[in-house]
A and B are shown apart, each in its own frame.
Chain A
């Protein structure tokens, strides 16, 4: 069964550094999402991406964040100048618009900012 993949599984970075989290959505999906989950808390929407542009973003997704689809398969989240409070699990998800609203989540990248 096709699945969303994410790399790396765990990223440790120092405060102030930039990180890029990578995702490979399911190949025929057209909508892509990033969510984050701080340890022990709920899953929070960050951004959605369709047709090579951001379609929605939350208040969390400020100028520190950016997304890109650099080629036909990867979908990336860049976090500039990381802060301690950026430490969280980051999930990528994708959706096939012809298959209702179901979003398929990747296994996540655990980001630890020290």
Chain B
């Protein structure tokens, strides 16, 4: 079945530093979504990427979808303490319908 790998598992940065998490799927995806989960919270939708090579920006967050639609990245510029949490990618492929297949997530810790 489809596997979604995400690295790194943990990242600890100083406030103001940049952060990137990478996601790779074993199969071609119809779309990929990114969610953020604060400690003790639930996943909150950030963005969805559908097109090959797509790049989307949300303020300090930049999301990319690879040309082959098998990999994606989330980059945060100049991290803030409010960015703390676990960032999950979640892929959907044509075989899984609308079920989200989550990566293991990258836990981001930002120290002031």
Contacts and interface: CB of A to CB of B under 8 A. Distances in A.
Contacts of B88: 42-43
Given A42-B88, A106-B42, A48 B99 contact: yes
Interface in B34-79: 35, 41-45, 48
Interface string B94-112: 0011111111110000000
B92 interface: yes
A91 B41 CA distance: 11
Q: How large is the interface on B (under 10, 10 to 19, 20 to 34, 35 or more residues)?
A: 20 to 34
Contacts of A42: 88, 102-105
B25 interface: no
B21 interface: no
A97 to B, nearest CB: 9
A105 B98 contact: no
B99 A56 contact: yes
Given A42-B104, A101-B48, A102-B33, A55 B97 contact: yes
9 contacts: A33-B100, A42-B103, A43-B88, A45-B101, A45-B102, A105-B35, A105-B43, A105-B44, A105-B45
